[in-house]
Structure 1
């Protein structure tokens, strides 16, 4: 029986309150037009109204000095386009963020909210990243998603590893490295930046998959006020509202949403209430500080993994043990932070601090009651100047992410806490420092060199345990160098390449005791988990023309000691280090107007627009003693996402879309058991002209295809192995949004 619980009152009331006061807030103009080359992003289905941003007004009662007039001679002047900030110093606009990540000689992408928020249900991280090549994101149930970038975290059958998540630069992942998606609210962000692999150096690039940063608007952004409602398949419903504005040196923004869904599968009911907000103050045109608040309350049933036969013949059925013991994942989170920015003649300094309190209530094979308290700080210096007549860009900084985990486990008796089984105090620490310099040997070619140093600690103290947990402490000291180059062939076209290293430290949840630590037998491999080290070679190109955008990258990562699940029981892994593995692939993205002037021949004609993202994955063992050159399990070899939209200049759009996995992939290292290939057809239509109102209708899995969306991995599988997550059936969603 599915056990429903009402939406929690405290956060839900805040959503209603936010929506009620929207009419009182002022409107602001939109970002200025794009003038420089961006990384490839999916063109949104609307024609964005573009006006110049309005400068923040100062109160008549407050006197401030005028902005400095920089009179530095051209030989030493900074490149204004790259140091430009505003209207908020602490938060980049979409175009400023594009210019910023454009300095990266590798795979990056920026997804503006308009590319997904107004034309899809925007319910999971998959909706955000669907058209970013190299990213494989498949929802399992509720918000939980199997996310992998360039084969990261393939062995993680639960939670997330291998990709670092940030909200406004503040870590979402815990201090020992694991992450969840329940705190992600796709309705809350103005853009999402994806840094693949060691291209995430500025965040502490210690993960093969890189980093994803979710950025919320400020009160100085255009259209800070809005309200939206969404309804759809399997009982999905959501109400969202946001309000913001600026008054003199002050600005503020808050967004809140509450949603619930019955779920496609049995025992998959979930509900969530989320709030994000910030308040900024400008001491002067060159000094701003901003305070952030984020809170989440999530309650989610877990249907669990099942056998391949069950997934393909009874996709709605939950795993019996999940129903009997009422498996759940419930999270309460409060995150506070401050970020300040100082702008000097040639330099921008960003610095801040944060604290996170997270409570995980997680009845599974045992009843997990974990309290995470994470805290840290960061500082970054960006310097742009001419040196000896050559342009030079220098970036350096440090990050601190520490915490404590009060990890308590109890017997799970029908979804209720039973007798205690363990009590652990875990103390992870992470200190990273980085520096990168870009020297333009000619005006359009930059040579780039950088490095990052990470010192990490994993310390565990056992208060009580019947699970075999032991005391232990491990330390890691890791360097990650990087060299690369960027060639701006013309203002709309870049070619890039790099050789970089990433280093990934294991989390406490990588294994069951006692193999994480080496307190007694440091020379026995079973008792020693080493960091995962990857050296990646990458080359590619990206560009944007009026009717054609593209991204094409090829990479090869040679990995030592890849963290891999070699045994699974009730979702837990005994993780070991593989000897050597190879991850290589091709990432291709295209956006093109295949037809113009179909019915409208004008300066702004109608178009038939193709969006396409293709990923080729070749992940394999490298002469392994046990598995030879077998394929690594857990990711499809080919993955294609495409849509063909008719787009009218009035903002109307309509067209089909396709998700295609043409070849099954293995779920075990022995390569004995596979998933099944699938193709999903969808359709969406709506109106979004960049104005006040937008509307969408989206149909997913029109043929009601039964398929396997994601799978856990194991060393050796058999037909009875419960490793498969069935995908959802046919569903229709509708939504309407207003903004001003």
Structure 2
């Protein structure tokens, strides 16, 4: 095995070798094209549209079969001056710019930022979990456990969080989904509800004040000013999956409104995994003038979900449908009701845009597991952000600064679990978290195509607990943190179709109340857990031509006090700080036309399109006194997702896909127990020409492979450790959608 320094050198040399061919290719392709997004390659090629009218009224609808699109979004930054909403009809809202504007914002980040249009998954998959949304984003590992619950990690974030989410900050229209102490949940996310999804890896999430190793994901809903805001869809498939979804929107004078809702249910692949959900989101906007707009957001969810539980490796690979016995006898569940309200107002001046707003979230978690957890969350906060883009001394300068406030209280009660019902009270506390984030970033264009970027972020965070159940001792306490996280980067727009970027950044992650929690008592008091700090180095390139797209990045994060599972009690992980670790890897997203004009000869040819996302992970302890240079458990070393689609200009498409984990990965810090390598083959076909109707049918895991989709981790495992979540067997899904 290579020493750490040699492995790092080898990684960077390999990265440079990967980037060089694309540099040569892009120099021969200077065409102005959009910044890289996750594509919907089955879509018929959109026609070029005329410029949008200056009035805010809806543009005429194009003919059926011709999907409208925005004018090209060039990678080279536009000249500074009066900020615009964007060139496309979908971007008419000042408070909620469209996908084209999100692409422009992504193109100004000196690091990996990915924009996922809803068209890339909503019309061709069941859109059941966030895995369907994030499947083709390299560096992101998203594997469903049961129902909506998913194990999500970006660049190795939150590897040791066996429940909920830590290390990635989730937002809905820029409003936090995570609780004030940092944990996130996926049950409030409806993959059918969004216009696009933005993935900010690591410090590239500074615009949201995010300060974690993984970064941030923002789920963005449409508005009444979008093209064709109305639609209805129905999906169904294996294991009792069914869903009805609709969306309605429109404008009336200066007002616009949009609402989307869904009702979903499933019996589940495994025993005791049935669930149902009702979700709704909407917004109402009012335009005072071309330069002033306000928008009110609301979101509500009711989710009821049984939990089948983790099982041993042998059970997962032989009888994957079987639930854990304790989960059945305890009728374990995760049920949640939420209500989210927010407002955002945008003011546009000559060279400056100011955004500000406030939000409130009420969440009730009813969660019978080893105990019956009854938690009530009340989160609230506000934000203000200013973007100034002007010429200073003959040079373009773009300055962004903002303040985020996110505070909240958790009324935390735990009871004995009597077969899914409350028994005697076993613990009670009132937990409070307060977070104030200040951030600023400046991009100075030393050349019209080269920007030097520098930024910083300051986080003031406090955590306090008032123990109201003292018979087992007093666990009251408080902590506070003051953390600076600077960053610097370089962005080079080599051609309008090709960018190169590099950055170095610091990140800081404050522990949540869930760290070191254990029954009957924590191994390490939660007040003793230190924040996780990391320094990350990143280099990459992205670009697009009509027949080839790429998004490549290599990174290394040197981490101090990583929040990891180093101790365990009765198989449950207790998180504390590791001495030193590192995460490094390569992320590659490629799209390529392998053949075209196979059955047609026209300006809009048919084509054979390859879509591929590959992630290489190298996560390790660094000279740890107990674990040496062991691999960090919880994520595969290699992960490949690919599809090969034949698409016809009529809108028909068909092709196979693959999900491949060629090497098993460890599930414990001692590196004694692994998962199992697997490969899954799928097939999809459908019709979507950009018109009113679309339909799909998709088969997954055609070989009915028994595999492990995800795993919890502990410090040292045995063959009897119940850590494994079996993957779903052979399944088929179909859906039909009408939009207008």
Q: Do the aligned partners of 2:85 and 2:93 also contact (CA within 8 Å) in 1? A: no
Aligned to 1:411: 416
Aligned to 2:660: 660
Aligned length: 686
Q: Relative to 1, partners in 2 of residues 1:515 and 1:531: Cα closer, same or farther, differing over 3 Å?
A: farther
Aligned to 2:483: 478
Distance 1:175 1:267 in 2: 31
Aligned to 1:39: 36
Aligned to 2:632: 632
Q: Do the aligned partners of 1:627 and 1:669 also contact (CA within 8 Å) in 2? A: yes
Alignment of 1:14-413 (within 5 A): 36-47=33-44, 49=46, 51=49, 53=52, 55-57=55-57, 78=81, 80=83, 86-413=91-418
Q: Report SS of the residue matched to 2:469.
A: strand
Distance 1:611 1:419 in 2: 54
Q: Do the aligned partners of 2:86 and 2:92 also contact (CA within 8 Å) in 1? A: no
Distance 2:477 2:83 in 1: 51
> Does structure 1 residue 693 correspond to structure 2 residue 696?
no
Deviation at 1:575, TM superposition (A): 1.1
Q: Do the aligned partners of 2:416 and 2:422 also contact (CA within 8 Å) in 1? A: yes
Q: Do the aligned partners of 2:566 and 2:578 also contact (CA within 8 Å) in 1? A: no
Deviation at 1:205, TM superposition (A): 2.4
Q: Relative to 1, partners in 2 of residues 1:231 and 1:83: Cα closer, same or farther, differing over 3 Å?
A: closer
Q: Which string of whole-angstrom CA distances, capped at 9 and with x for unpartnered residues, describes residues 120-146 of structure 1?
A: 000100000000010000000000000
> Does structure 1 residue 449 correspond to structure 2 residue 454?
yes
Deviation at 1:525, TM superposition (A): 8.8
Deviation at 1:727, TM superposition (A): 0.2
> Does structure 1 residue 491 correspond to structure 2 residue 488?
no
Deviation at 1:37, TM superposition (A): 3.6
Distance 1:35 1:193 in 2: 22
Q: Do the aligned partners of 1:508 and 1:516 also contact (CA within 8 Å) in 2? A: no
Q: Do the aligned partners of 1:467 and 1:513 also contact (CA within 8 Å) in 2? A: no
Q: Report SS of the residue matched to 2:204.
A: helix
Q: Do the aligned partners of 2:516 and 2:525 also contact (CA within 8 Å) in 1? A: no
Q: Report SS of the residue matched to 2:133.
A: helix
Deviation at 1:568, TM superposition (A): 4.0
Q: Relative to 1, partners in 2 of residues 1:36 and 1:517: Cα closer, same or farther, differing over 3 Å?
A: farther
Aligned to 2:589: 589
Gapped regions of structure 2 (runs ≥ 5): 1-30, 59-77
Q: Do the aligned partners of 1:472 and 1:517 also contact (CA within 8 Å) in 2? A: no
Aligned to 1:603: 603
Q: Give the TM-score of the pair, scaled to structure 2.
A: 0.90
Q: Which string of whole-angstrom CA distances, capped at 9 and with x for unpartnered residues, describes residues 179-211 of structure 1?
A: 110001010000000000111012122211000
Deviation at 1:565, TM superposition (A): 1.6
Aligned to 1:715: 715
Q: 1:424 aligns with which of 420, 425, 429?
A: 429
Deviation at 1:248, TM superposition (A): 1.2
Q: Report SS of the residue matched to 2:436.
A: strand
Distance 1:468 1:225 in 2: 57
Q: Relative to 1, partners in 2 of residues 1:540 and 1:691: Cα closer, same or farther, differing over 3 Å?
A: same
Distance 1:412 1:181 in 2: 24
Aligned to 2:5: none
Q: Which string of whole-angstrom CA distances, capped at 9 and with x for unpartnered residues, describes residues 582-636 of structure 1?
A: 1000000000101011101100000000000000000000000000000000000
Deviation at 1:94, TM superposition (A): 0.7
Q: Relative to 1, partners in 2 of residues 1:81 and 1:602: Cα closer, same or farther, differing over 3 Å?
A: farther
Q: Relative to 1, partners in 2 of residues 1:183 and 1:574: Cα closer, same or farther, differing over 3 Å?
A: same
Aligned to 1:4: none
Gapped regions of structure 1 (runs ≥ 5): 1-33, 59-74, 519-523
Q: Do the aligned partners of 1:621 and 1:632 also contact (CA within 8 Å) in 2? A: yes
Q: Give the TM-score of the pair, scaled to structure 1.
A: 0.90
Q: Do the aligned partners of 1:341 and 1:348 also contact (CA within 8 Å) in 2? A: yes
Q: Relative to 1, partners in 2 of residues 1:601 and 1:714: Cα closer, same or farther, differing over 3 Å?
A: same
Deviation at 1:40, TM superposition (A): 3.7
Q: Report SS of the residue matched to 1:327.
A: coil
Deviation at 1:570, TM superposition (A): 6.8
Q: Do the aligned partners of 1:532 and 1:563 also contact (CA within 8 Å) in 2? A: yes
Q: Do the aligned partners of 1:43 and 1:591 also contact (CA within 8 Å) in 2? A: no
Q: Do the aligned partners of 2:449 and 2:494 also contact (CA within 8 Å) in 1? A: yes
Aligned to 1:440: 445
Compare 566-575 and 305-314 and name the one that shifted more. 566-575
TM-align CA RMSD? 2.0
Q: Do the aligned partners of 1:478 and 1:503 also contact (CA within 8 Å) in 2? A: yes
Q: Relative to 1, partners in 2 of residues 1:481 and 1:559: Cα closer, same or farther, differing over 3 Å?
A: same
Distance 1:516 1:493 in 2: 55
Aligned to 1:68: none
